[in-house]
Each structure stands twice: as C-alpha cells, then as structure tokens.
Structure 1
Amino acid sequence: MTTAQSSTEQQRIDHFFSMPAARADRWRDLTGIAGDWARGEADSSGVVQALDALGSIENFHAFPGRRLMASLRESLHMGVPSAFAELARRISRSIITRQYKHSAADWESDDLTVQLDESTVDTPIQGGGERPYFEMLLVTPEASMRSNRLIDEMRRLRRTEDDFIYEAVQVSSFEDAICAIIINPSIAAVTLYEGFGQTSVYETPLLRSFLDAIGFGAQHVARDDRPLALADALKRIRPELDIYLLADRQVEKLAGDDRSSAIRRVLYSVEELLELHLTVLEGVAGRYRTPFFDNLKKYARRPISTFHALPLARGKSILRSDWIRDMGEFYGLNLLLAESSATTGGLDSLLEPTGTIKEAQEMAARAFGADRVFFVTNGTSTSNKMVHQALVAPGDIVILDRNCHKSHHYGLVLAGGQPLYVEAFPMVEYSMYGAVPLASIKKALLDLKEESRLDRLKIVDLTNCTFDGHIYNTRRVMEECLAIKPDLIFLWDEAWFGFARFSPFLRARTAMGAAGEIENWMKTPEAITQYERQQQELRPSPRREDLLAMRLIPDPRQIRLRVYQTNSTHKSMSALRQGSMVLVKDVDFPSVETQFREAVFTHASTSPNQQLIASLDIARRQMELEGYGLVANAIEIALDIRREVNGHPLISKYFRVLGADQMVPPEYRSSGFTDFLDPGMTWVDQVRSMHEDEFCLDPTRMTLVCGLAGFDGTEFKALLANTYDIQLNKTSRNSVLLQSNINNTRSDVAHLIRVLLEISKDIEERLARNGGPSREAFGNRVKSLMTDVPDLPNFSRFHEVFRRDAGDLTPEGDMRMAFYGGYDRAATEYVPLFSEECDRRLKEGPEMVSANFVIPYPPGFPIMVPGQVITAETIDFMRKLDVKEIHGYERTKGLKLLQPDVIAAKARA
C-alpha cells in the first residue's frame, strides 16, 4: 500500500471497528513526530502528515474541540515547534487518560497568540470535578451560526448543582450523525434541529452502502421526513440514546406523529433552551438511577440494630473478633454494613418484589428490550431451570441441542419434559461442536406434525451464542418454526452473550433483539402480503422437501410471540459472580405468570445476597450509559489479538486463532463472508453476514489452536495460569478459548502476545538444541493432537422402554424415568470402561443403558444421558479422551448402567 493510499484509509470515517484505538494511536504518533520536530531531528512535513492522519474523526468528539485544534494548526502554521509539541502532548495524554472529562485546564490553550472568532471559542468545563461526563450530539443545518450560539448558550446554562456535565458535538448531516454515534461512545443524547442535510462532506462509501441497504440512503429520505427518519436510524443503532427534536414550526404536529416514537421530547427551539438542558440531564439521570443500589447505600449509612439470623450484618462479629478481623479488612466495611436479611427499609424482597427490586427489574427490561426481567442470584443454571419448570409439564416435548449446558438437561429431568435431541454440526478436527442447523430443527417439527404430535411440542431450547462463539440467526429460526407451530415457545440460553444487546452489529442476533424485529414486522401490512404470497407458491399442497429447503414465512395473524432469554450477567457485564437475569417477551405471560412465580419460589434462595442484587442493578446502569463503548472496545481487542497472533512470523508457526471460515462451514455462510481480518472484508460485509447467514461468529470469541505447539488444551491452560498468570476457561483437545470482554485492556493483549512469543521462542530453541529425535517426538505429538483426533459421538437413542409414548420419526424419550431409576442401587450396575465385559456387551448384548449423565470437561456436553443406549462410537470417544474431569463417571467403578433384567422387566410391564 502506498503512503497516499494509507493516508486515505486512515482518514476514512466509516472504518468503525478500529476507530477508538486508532484515534489514540494517531495522537501518540503525532506526539512522537512533534517531539522530533521540536528537537530539530525532523522537519514539519511529518507533523503535517500526522496531523492530517487524525482526519475528520476529531470533528465527532467534543475534545479537543475547535479552540485547541485551531491552536495546534496555528502553531504549525507559525512554525513554533515547541508550542505545537507541548500542546499535542497535553491533548494526547488527556485523551488516553480521559482527564479532559474532569479537568477544565485540559480544555485551555497556553498559546495566547491565537485569536479566534467569539462564536467558535470552546468554553472549558466549569466545575467538572468528578461528576459523570457525557457528550450530546447536536445535528443542525450546515454553517448555521444559530448552532454555535446554541452550544454556547447551553454551556452557560450549567449549574454547580447539576448531577452531570456534558459537552456538545455539532454535525450538519444525516450521514455524519450516524458516523458520530458510532465513532463516539461518549454520546449519550442527541438533539436534532430541522433543516440538516443528508450526505456527509467526507468519503463514506461503506456507510452509504449500508444506509441504502436498510432504507435510509439519500434517495430514500425526503427532506421534511429527515428528522424522524434520523431518529429512527439512531435508535436502531443505539437504542439507549435519548433523542430530542428542536423545531421552530408545527411542534404539536410533530409530537403527534406516529413515527416520532423514537423521540423522547419535541421542543420549540425559540424558547426552550433551559427546558432542553434540564430535559437532557433528566434523561441521563433516568438511566443513571439504580433504585436498589441507591437504597442499599442509604441503608448502610443508617445506625441499625439487627435481631435477625445474619450475624455478619453490620460487621460486629467480624470487626470485634480476635481471629477473623482480617476478613473485614479484606472485604471492607461497606460490604458488612450493606448485608441484611430484611426486606423492608427500601431493600425489598427478591421473591415478591414490590419496591426497589421491582423498579430495578423494570429498568433492566427497558435496557435489554424485554417486557419483563427477573433477577436471579444463583446463576443461569437456575435461570434455565426456572423457565423449564414454569413452562414444561410432564410429557411435553422440548427440542433441545444435545450439546447445551447441563442445566437444561437437569431442568427437563425435574420438569418431566421429554428431550427431542437435535445435533449440532461437528468440528471433529478441534473436538468441538458448532450449532444446530435450522434444517434439523425444521425436520423435527415436521416429523412431529406428520405424526400428529405437534401439540405436545412446547419449547425450542438453544444456546446462543455457543461457548465457542457460534451465533444463530435467531429471527430466522423463530420465524420458520412459527410458520410450522405459531404458538411455539423459545428459550435462548445467552449466558455468554448478554453484552451483545449493546452492539449494533450483534443486537439483531440476540433473542430480545430478534423478537423485537418480529414484533415490529407483524404490525406491518407487508407481513400479511409476504405470508400470502408464499402460500400461493406452496399451493395446492406443500411438499416436505420444499418446506425444508425454503425460508418459511409465518402468518402474522396467528403468531403468539413467546420468547425467553437467560443472561449470565456476571459473565459479560459488571455483575458479581452468580448474577443472572431471565428476560421475557411473552404475549401469553399472564397465563403462565403464576406458575413462573412458583418456579421462582422453588429455585430462588429465600436469603439472596444483597450485593448480588445491587450488582445486577449497577450492571444495567453501566451498560445503558457506556455499554456501547465498552463492547466496541472488547471487539476491537479481539480483532487485535487475531491480527497479532495470525500475522506474527514466529507465533503463527505454533499458534493460530481460527477464522470465521474455519469455525462456520461454507454452506452456512451464504453471504460469502470469510473472516474479520481478510483484506477484502469490511464491516458492511460483517453486517451482511449478521443479517443473512445461518450462523456467524462472535468476534469476541477466539479459538486459539495450541496443538501445533504440542500442547493439549488442558495442559496449555495450566501453563498459562501457573507460569504466566493468564486465566481462561474452556479448552478442547487441541485448543483453548480466549474471550475478550468489557474488562480487558490493550495491556492484556500485549501481555498475551509477549507470552505466546516467549513460548514460541522456547519451542524453537528446544528443537534446535535437541536435534532430530526431539523434532520427531514433537512432530508425533502434534500429529496426535491435530490429526489423530477421535470422532465426536452423536446421540444414539433412548432405549425403547423409555419411548413408549414416542413416535416412529422422532427420538425423544422419558429421561426422567431413567434418571430416577438410577437412584435404586439394586437396579444399577457398573461396567469398567476398559474391560472385556464392555467390549462383549457392545458386540453381543445385552445393550448397555446409561443410568446417569456423563459429561467430560472438555468438551462439556453430555455424551451420555439417562436412558441412552451406549454405542461403540461413544465408548471409543471416551477411551480416547485425555481429560481428567468427567462428571458422572467414576474411574474406579466404570460406567453406571441400568441392569439388563430391570430393563427387561420394564419392557414386559
């Protein structure tokens, strides 16, 4: 790439994925080059090029603002390198440390020679202190002096008693407004002024392609409709934003327009600046408020005597102790003062919330796009069991991914539901499964329909995204299933994906995001037209193969939209461990509310931890106010890791992060998307993949192959933790899973890359030092990990005694009967895994039937469930496993089985 081409790429404002870190890096580059200029080691040409490289993105941030940027350019124009270098250093430091959000001095220039028009002078923050800072986007007509006066007037409206402080960022077009809210995560509110333009003055071909695709291109939006259309587009991208419309005509008509639902308030611009200022602060305050946490802080400050069963409440038993005082010193006084088993005084009851917890849950529902939210303090395992118990009755059929978390399997045992297992596509080379193809799910529904048993199907239960990052096309799955059974319930386990709500690139693939889109689609006239057109194509009688092959459209008049989503809030947001939420968008929830609450009573603790509840409240606040920027940073960090690992000449010999094309087979990527870092791919391609493809990959999930370095996953995980202080969770036979989240920084990336380089150098030196025998042994080890991998076992079948009310076409079974049958010691036996008896039973019988779940970690899915007939495929897989942790299997005893005579007796009964 030439220098000119590189400069052009740097100035492009629609390369959104790499924008935040790129901005900081460009300021650091400018600072370094300016220092060289000031020391006489370089001329000003490099400074000019570095300043140009900052490009137009600075116009979408309040800091450094017009005054400081003008001072920089004036110093450059006047040839004062020392002044330029010092100001560039100050600005760069303030951006990196975010000090400008609190320090008025950072907004001031020491260069008194710069004379600016009064209307363009940035008034620095007054009395910022530690008040939370945000920015408001102001969209005004181009070159409007009124907009400059408006910004200055709003600065003068600041008061020391304001809870927050904000700066305005002004743009003049529809396209620039879109760019601003994507580039600048500090924007928390938007004010639209009538008369702004459509197109940007900058080069934005990618953005225009995207806007055209979603119906907001220049040819689609009439001038008079532009404010409402922009409000709609902004809400689609960042639904948490407060949007206001300043108009100087027909404000009453605008406020009553059905299309104005995205706008929080319409104001008459001539007379309402103070009202706008107060409304903006009120809007942010509404998201900032944490009802339960606020009251918990007040409770902790009160002098309370406790006569309930919680000795550590108020901390006296700890702080006055001679032996455990260090606990109080370690955890801090507030933790103890905020503990109570009371549900009065603003603390509320988690089981029967009527006050602050109820308010907090309602605010979480708004933030996550749900109708209702329930807080859970003992993890998403419990959240899943609650949903199953509330919605599934004994004998109901549930379509279930066999590789889902064990809580779903145990939930069905408790509820008496019969799992109809569907298989995910295998990734044998890496000893893992992907996700379940939609064709398999549709086949299960059509099989049940053919046997007239569709009425027994209650739920489709899937994991989104999977541990390894496979994301379903949630809207398509739900629509096609609803086309077959309009009242079907969906449970999406999004334990690892809750953060996705706050990314415009991932939101549509969440359960609540997709449910919201379906809900909106159902209300449009086009919905019925699309359905009836497809019905015409399918007449006179649809063939099964056609139904499996085509994208089915449900009848919007028949749909009963019933969607449940479980989030491990603690796994991707700032909640304490075990903090979880159940998100509900169920049109028929009133009919199941009583039983849902019974499920809550069954599984929730009567002594929930106050700190866990408060952390769920706080996590919601953070994600509404800064989640967009935090998630964007997590994605950017993941892309950095992918780039540095796969692009490093030495590290890439022994390690690699698998691309989307290696994780998702091509038949499930109809868009043609290959990988995030492929030279020909852009963020528009990623958006298209998210919209069209059956499966796509969560960019924050990175499967790092370590088998090329001679490590199995468990071994490499231990090496990273014990030697290098790098922690991770999931492993496979030849890989480990890296996850970036809102907690990670670029320092974490640097540490990881340094460690991988050190390990790679050590391998190189060891192989060079020990010569041929060592290389041969290393090659054999790599071959055993990367080539000689065991086949992944599919679910075989339930034994016929557990399928008495099942059909011929579907594999569901009464797992609950088998599970509790295993409680009778006299009815069970053990057969050693590595034994002649095991081999004989596989060949000659009688069939071996599992009495319990067997779950190896890794890969973490049940390879045996109660009532399942054990096959040679499963035994072969278990014998090749080299993991130490296998739940449900005792090495000293062997496989726990239901005795053949017990099975025979059940068959005769």
Structure 2
Amino acid sequence: MKKPISRILLINDEKLILKAFIKGLNDAAKSMENSLGITFIGVTTAREALQVLEEDGDIQAVVVDDKLYTLQSERKGTRNLQMTALELVQKISRFRPELNIYILIAQEQQDDVVDALFSETVDGYFYREERDYRGMYRILNAQLQEKARTPFYDQLKSYVLMAKDAWHTPGHSSGDSLRDSPWISDFYEFIGEHIFRADLSVSVPMLDSLMEPTGVIAEAQKIAAEAFGARRTFFATNGTSTANKVIFQTLLAPGEKLLLDRNCHKSVHHGVVLSGAHPVYLDSSVNKKFSIYGPVPKQTLFNALEQHADAEALILTSCTYDGLRYDLSPIIEAAHAKGIKVIIDEAWYGFARFHPAFRPTALEAGADYATQSTHKVLSAFSQSSMIHVNDPDFNEHLFRENFNMHTSTSPQYSMIASLDVARKQATLEGYKLLSRTLELARELRLQINATGVFQVLELPELLPDEVKHDNIQLDPTKVTVDISRCGFTVEELIRELFEHYNIQVEKSTFNTLTLLLTIGTTRSKVSRLYDALMRIAREGRAPRRLYQISEVPHFTELRYLPRDAFYCEGELVPLLDEEDRVSKYLEGRVSADQITPYPPGIPVLVPGQTITNSIVHYLVSILRSQKHMEVHGIVFDGYLPCLRLLTATEEGSLRKLS
C-alpha cells in the first residue's frame, strides 16, 4: 500500500531563518508521529512560492511570513516589500483553495496582522521568535489529519471489524446467506466479503442516519461543505436525478414559475411534474453540423429574466455533457437582481473546485444550489451525489422534509462511505490528479489528430453560432472526436472499438464520439486508445455517408401545467394511420407524457405541450430511421406507436396557462 506524501511550504526571505525553520520542523517530523509523510520545504520569494504551488501537487499547507522583502540593490542595501501577506494569501486561496494557510508574525505586530487577515482563509498564526518547532509540527500535523479524516468511512470500517452478529436487516446477514450457497456463492466471491459486511441498516445507531444526521454523517457532510466551498452539503444516494427533484420541491410551490434550459437532464423535467411548477422552457443553442446541443444563449437568458421577473428559480446545466461551460457570473448576478434563485446542475463538473483550470465553480460564481454527480467524475460509487447549498434564505426544515420524501430509509452505506472518501481524495490529491488528467487530455488530442483521419473538435468547432460571443468555455476532460472520415458509421466504430480493442466510449452523435477523461485515466489507457484509432485510420477506408436526423423542433406552446397534464388518464392516439401514413389528427392536441429521443435526451414534448405537425414528422422520422435511437415516452399498441394525449373533456377541466 502506497504511503502518502505531504509537503508543507515555508515562505521567508531571510535565508538563515528559513533554513533554521526547515531543519527544525523536519527534525520534529522525523522524531514524532508522521503517518501522512509530512516534510518541509522552503522558498524566499512569493513568485517562487506560487510556482511551487503550481508544479507540486503534494503541497498540503503553506506557512507565509507576514512580510516578504526582496533586495532592490546590493550596493544601496535597500529593501522593497515583495507582496503583503494579505495579497499572497489571496493569490494562494484563489489558486488552490484546498490548502491550509498559516502566517508567521512578530509578536509586537500581532494585532495588525491578525486584523488584516481575519476575513481571509487563514488557519492559524505562529510567532517567529518562539521557534517551537515541535509545537508547530503538532498543529500542522493535527490540521492535516483533520482534513484527511473520513468520519463516516472510519466508523463504518470500525463497525465491520467489530464482527457483530447481525439480527437485523438486510436479509443476507453480512453475506452469510450467500457465502456457502452452491447457487450464488460465486456472486459473494466476485463482489467481495467486505461489501456485504458493510451493507448494514439504520439498526446500527453508531453509523448515524442519512435522514436526520447528527453524528458521523453530519461530520462528513460538514467537512465536504468546507472542501467544496458550500455553506451546507448533503449526501444523496439516489443520484443527482433525485437531488434536482428535492431542490425543486423545496423552492417551488404548485404554479410558481421556473426558468429552465430545455436541454436539462430529464430529472429536471420530472421535477417540474412532481413540484407542480410552471416551467418556462428556453431553447438551447444547436451545432447543426455535429448535432451537439449547447448552452442557452446569454441574451435569451437575460430576456427571459426580464420577461419573467416573477420566477422563483432558474436552473442551467454547466458544464454540458459535451463540456461546454456557461459564463455563469453575469447570469447569476442578473437572476439575483430579480430575486430569482439559481440552481446549477454540475453533474459532469463535480471536480472543478480542485484545480484553477476549471474554476470558477457554480458556487464560486454565486449559485444558490449546485448538484454534483460525484460518482461520474470523482471516486464515488454510482448513484452517489452531493447537494451543495449557498442560499442565504435556505429553509432547512422544508429541504429536509423533501429530502426525506425521496431518499430511502435503507440507504446503501457503502455509497455514503464512498462520498466521504471521494471528498478526501479530491481535497488531498485532487490538484495533482487533475493536473495529470489535463496533461493526458493534451496528449490525447495531439495523438488523435496525428491519425490524420480522426479529429478532436475544439471550442470554435463545438460552439453553436448563437453563443460564439457568450464567453463559453470548454472542459478539456470531455474530448469530442469527429469520425466522419474513418469509413465507419458511428455504430460500426463503437462496435469495432469494443469488440476488437476492448474500448468503451462515453457517448456519440451521428458523426462524433465523446471520450471522458477522469482522475482515473492512465497513460496506458491513452496509449491503447491511440493505437486503436491509428490502426483503424491506417485501414484507409473510404468515408461513408452518415445519416443525420433532423434537428429537434423548437418548443411549442405550453397549454397546461405539466403536473396537471401528466396526472390525467388521457387516451392513446397513433402516430400513423392504418396505411402507415403520418396521422393528420395530432395537430393541436396536447401531450400527457414527456417524449424524449435519446440521445440527445432533449424532450420533444413535455406534459401539457401542444403538438404540431413538425413534431409528429420528427418523431416518425426517428422511428423509421435505420440508426437505432431510444424514444422514451412513446407507447406501442402492438406494433403501432402511440402518444398519450389529453381528451377534450380533460382539457375542459384544466386551467389554461396565460
């Protein structure tokens, strides 16, 4: 098992003093308990310090002299202040907010320095003259130990090792029902002993309650909030899909307005139904060449905020599945000026806090709520997500009631532990791992382009025309590859990569593949992917004509609240008549369901929306396409595809939206 390495950087321009501090502290580290591998290094200038912090991902804390001078002239012997401690602390905090920062001060300057830095991210102060190296080391070690603590995981592991007899749920009783079974013991062996022993229940009080945490879960959530820059953080074991619904039901009463990107995840649209909200759907931008859907144009958002100043909330997805990030700060500022809460679905961007290349995060840009799929991009189990709250008007009781409405009373404890562990890793080595991921992303782009057949699409190629001047940024860990010259259809290429090269990609459009790099991506994986693409490129196949489905039709009139329409019984009406022609009887009718082709996962219809002939033709063209595409929400009556629509009587009983 690898041992951790933790370096602490001292910044002091007096070389002899710096040397004495480094020696004294390293001697203390060698003679005292040091399970985290703490060593001390030093630099004499602020510029060197910032360079070391950029290059060394093992730096865990910084000790800054309260005044840093530099010699201006050897002859004159004059000295200039390099940078105040306040300025340096601010730079370090902006660059790597996960680091602990301490200040070395002279005792007589105590009040001035402490007062100046009181509101900054400073964890403590040491007196320069005391030279209590062992005392300093104890404090620095204790603080790092606290940051490395995983309260829930530690308690779970401790309980499992107690080997208590289980007279409570779950039924497998620590795996005993599987272990000696001639039929299913292979599952026990495949999954592993500890996953069953750690699969416990609310019958174990020492593991706390996810529904009303007061112990180790509460502690773990508090540490996570500090790590991600939130006032409050809540662990979710039903994925970000449920997290979005919880926030909606907390902020929105039936009939209250919500502004939302039509391209939001389907959980957002389901949340609209559950909350009874009145949605104002905003069409996203579209890159027609590659069938990639981008952010809502900034001006569209500003216009919607002006037109619907009575809205309670705005929800956007940043970054998108393809890695496109909004310029969030001006949008959030405009929403807050109208008293509108902002929710950002950061499902694909939960790592961003831990490297300056990805910031600002949604919370740093001022969002009131951010939901993150920790399992998608950090080291948590599937379905493990976090809800981060910075809303100054946060109603904890109402939130808790909605959270408990959706969460299971029997949560999977391994998921909670994985959230605790994922936070620890992101805090202590996130910068280092993300720096490696960025380097691998750069290498992969060069290698793919070097095939001469496959091409990585960069921001200018990905951006739809409507948002080219909206200061959109690209997350480089999402790599979109144009495959149009390789001689395969996208389905054939995915199958070729899977069957012959053991490679599974994230997603595709008719002429692109999306590759997702994470902190788990290795150089070996990059090399194998490059080898596969280069071999395919060298086959020299002639380009194929690739089938492109038509663009998703623009949103039409929302005639009734989605919740009201969804809970009607409705009637099934075929998309085609008896002679397999497109039905003429759907124009003007109202859908009772959400109809979503996947990919791209954008609803063509939502409950309460008016149907047009263009929508019907679009759905029929997808169903008839040789390219298989899932279409969620269509009902098949035998082989006949149907939509569930409101009846005339039901429409007469519902209140129309103005």
Shared fold (TM-score, shorter chain, > 0.5): yes
CA–CA separation in structure 2 for the residues paired with 1:251 and 1:323: 74
The one of 808, 817, 832 equivalent to 2:576 is 832
Distance 1:198 1:738 in 2: 48
CA contact (8 A) 1:173 1:199 kept: no
Residues 228 and 274 of structure 1, relative CA distance in 2, 3 Å threshold: farther
1:499 aligned to 351, 355, 370, which one? 351
1:890 CA displacement: 4.2
SS at match of 1:704: strand
1:904 CA drift (Å): 6.3
1:159-308 superposed matches below 5 A: 159=31, 161-197=33-69, 223=81, 226-254=84-112, 256-260=114-118, 261-271=120-130, 272-308=132-168
In structure 1, the partner of 2:509 is 732
Corresponding residue number in structure 1 for 2:369: 564
Instruction: State how 1:473-512 maps to structure 2 within 5 Å.
Output: 473-483=327-337, 485=338, 487-508=339-360, 510-512=361-363
Cα distance in 2 between the residues matched to 1:316 and 1:571: 32
1:269-303 CA-to-partner distances (Å, cap 9, x unmatched) read 22222222111111211110011001111101113
Aligned to 1:747: 524
Matched residue, 1:429: 289
- C-alpha separation between the residues in 2 aligned to 1:298 and 1:199? 55
Aligned positions of 1:449-468 closer than 5 A: 454-455=309-310, 457-468=311-322
Please say if 1:868 is aligned against 2:645. Answer: no
Question: For 1:300, what is the secondary structure of its paired residue?
Answer: helix
What's the offset of the Cα at 1:195? 4.7
Look up the equivalent residue of 1:488 and give its one-letter code.
Answer: I
Q: 1:565-584 alignment to 2 at 5 Å?
A: 565-584=370-389
| Residue 576 of structure 1, CA deviation | 0.6
CA contact (8 A) 1:375 1:616 kept: yes
Question: Which of residues 468, 471, 477 is equivalent to 1:700?
Answer: 477
SS at match of 2:22: helix
The corresponding residue for 1:796 is: 556
**Alpha-carbon deviation of 1:836?**
6.0
Aligned-pair identity in percent equals 35
**2:335 touches 2:341 (CA, 8 Å); kept in 1?**
no
Candidates 564, 581, 600, aligned match of 2:403: 600
- Change in CA separation of 1:367 and 1:835 when aligned onto 2, cut-off 3 Å: farther
CA distance in 2, matches of 1:303, 1:440: 59
Q: Is the 8 A contact 2:10 2:43 kept in 1?
A: yes
DSSP-derived class of the 2:519 partner: coil
Q: How far is 1:594 from its partner?
A: 1.8
Letter of the 1:491 partner, please give it: I
| Residues 828, 851 of structure 1: 8 Å contact kept | no
Aligned to 2:314, the other structure's residue is in SS state: strand
The aligned counterpart of 2:243 is 383
Aligned to 2:452: 652
Hey, what does 1:86 align to over in structure 2? none
Q: Residue 511 of structure 1: SS of its match in structure 2?
A: coil
Distance 2:357 2:587 in 1: 53
User: Aligned equivalents of 1:198 and 1:425: distance in 2?
Assistant: 52
Note closer, same or farther for the CA distance 1:139–1:834 as it changes in structure 2 (3 Å cut). Answer: farther
CA distance in 2, matches of 1:400, 1:572: 24
Write the distance in 2 (CA, Å) between the matches of 1:356 and 1:236: 30
1:60-139 pair list within 5 angstroms: 131-139=3-11
Instruction: Kindly indicate whether the alpha-carbon contact (under 8 Å) linking 2:587 and 2:611 is maintained by their aligned counterparts in 1.
Output: no
Which structure features the higher share of strand residues? 2
Q: In the TM superposition, what are the counterparts of 1:340-419 in structure 2 within 5 Å? A: 340-419=200-279
Q: Which amino acid aligns with 2:19?
A: N
Match for 1:489: what amino acid?
A: K
Match of 2:326 among 465, 472, 479: 472
Q: 1:734 and 1:164 mapped to 2: Cα distance?
A: 48
Q: 1:431, 1:792 within 8 Å by CA — same for their partners in 2?
A: no
State whether structure 2 residue 596 is matched by structure 1 residue 855.
yes
SS at match of 2:68: coil
Say which SS state the counterpart of residue 475 (structure 1) adopts: helix
Gap change, CA 1:875 and 1:632, over 3 Å in 2: farther
Instruction: Tell me the secondary structure at the aligned position of residue 460 of structure 1.
Output: strand
CA distance in 2, matches of 1:863, 1:162: 59
The question of whether the paired residues in 1 share the 8 Å contact of 2:46 and 2:83 is answered with no
Paired letter, 1:264: D
Q: 1:619 aligns with which of 418, 422, 429?
A: 422
Alignment of 1:500-539 (within 5 A): 500-508=352-360, 510-515=361-366
Secondary structure of 2:201's counterpart equals: coil
Question: CA 1:436 to 1:503, structure 2 compared with 1: closer, same or farther past 3 Å?
Answer: same
Maintained 8 Å contact 2:58/2:432: yes
Distance between the aligned counterparts of 1:168 and 1:789, measured in 2?
60
**Do the aligned residues in 2 keep the contact of 1:175 with 1:199 (CA within 8 Å)?**
no
Using structure 2 for the length normalisation, give the TM-score. Answer: 0.92
Is the 8 Å Cα contact of residues 134 and 166 (structure 1) preserved in structure 2?
yes
1:635 shift after superposition = 1.7
Note closer, same or farther for the CA distance 1:860–1:817 as it changes in structure 2 (3 Å cut). same
SS at match of 1:743: coil
Determine the C-alpha separation between the residues in 2 that align with 1:331 and 1:191: 45
Describe the shift of the 1:904–1:323 C-alpha distance in structure 2 as closer, same or farther (beyond 3 A). closer
Determine the C-alpha separation between the residues in 2 that align with 1:384 and 1:717.
32
Unaligned runs of 5+ residues in structure 2 are 73-78
Please say if residues 712 and 735 of structure 1, whose CA atoms lie closer than 8 Å, have aligned partners that are also in contact: no
Partner of 2:20: 149
Distance 1:350 1:636 in 2: 38
Q: Offset of 1:466 from its aligned partner?
A: 0.6
Greater alpha carbon shift after TM alignment, 466-475 vs 191-200: 191-200
For 1:74, the equivalent position in structure 2 comes to none
Task: Specify whether residues 165 and 325 from structure 1 end up closer, same or farther in structure 2 by C-alpha distance, changes over 3 A only.
Answer: same
**Secondary structure at the counterpart of residue 512 of structure 1:** coil
With over 3 angstroms needed to count, the CA separation of the structure-2 counterparts of 1:818 and 1:225, relative to structure 1, is same
Aligned length: 641
Equivalent residues of 2:68, 2:82 under 8 A apart: no
TM-score between the two structures when normalised by the length of structure 1: 0.67
- Counterpart Cα distance in 1 of 2:161 and 2:447: 49
Structure 2: which amino acid aligns with 1:181? L
- Aligned AA (2:517): S
| Structure 1 Cα separation of the partners of residues 66 and 134 of structure 2 | 19
Retained in 2: the 8 A contact 1:849–1:869?
Answer: yes
Q: CA deviation at 1:159?
A: 3.0
1:357–1:471 CA distance, 2 compared to 1 (3 A):
same
1:225-273 CA-partner distances (Å, limit 9, x unpaired): 6222111210111111011122335352255323243221111122222
2:75 paired residue number: none
Whole-angstrom distance in 2 between the partners of 1:274 and 1:160: 8
SS of equivalent residue, structure 1 residue 513: coil
Deviation at 1:740, TM superposition (A): 0.7
The residue that corresponds to 2:440 in the other structure is: 637
Larger Rg over CA atoms: 1
Output the aligned Cα RMSD: 2.5
Alignment of 1:752-901 (within 5 A): 752-762=529-539, 764=540, 767=541, 775=542, 778=543, 781-782=544-545, 784-785=546-547, 790-799=550-559, 802=560, 814-821=561-568, 823-824=569-570, 827-832=571-576, 838-841=582-585, 846-878=587-619, 879-880=621-622, 881=625, 882-890=627-635, 892-898=639-645, 901=648
> 1:128-171, CA deviations, whole angstroms, 9 ceiling, x for partnerless residues?
x95422111121216x1222232222221123533222222322
CA displacement at 1:886 relative to structure 2? 1.5
CA contact (8 A) 2:70 2:82 kept: no
> In the superposition, relative to structure 1, how do residues 223 and 723 fare at CA in structure 2: closer, same or farther (>3 Å)?
same
Structure 2 distance, partners of 1:668, 1:249, is: 55
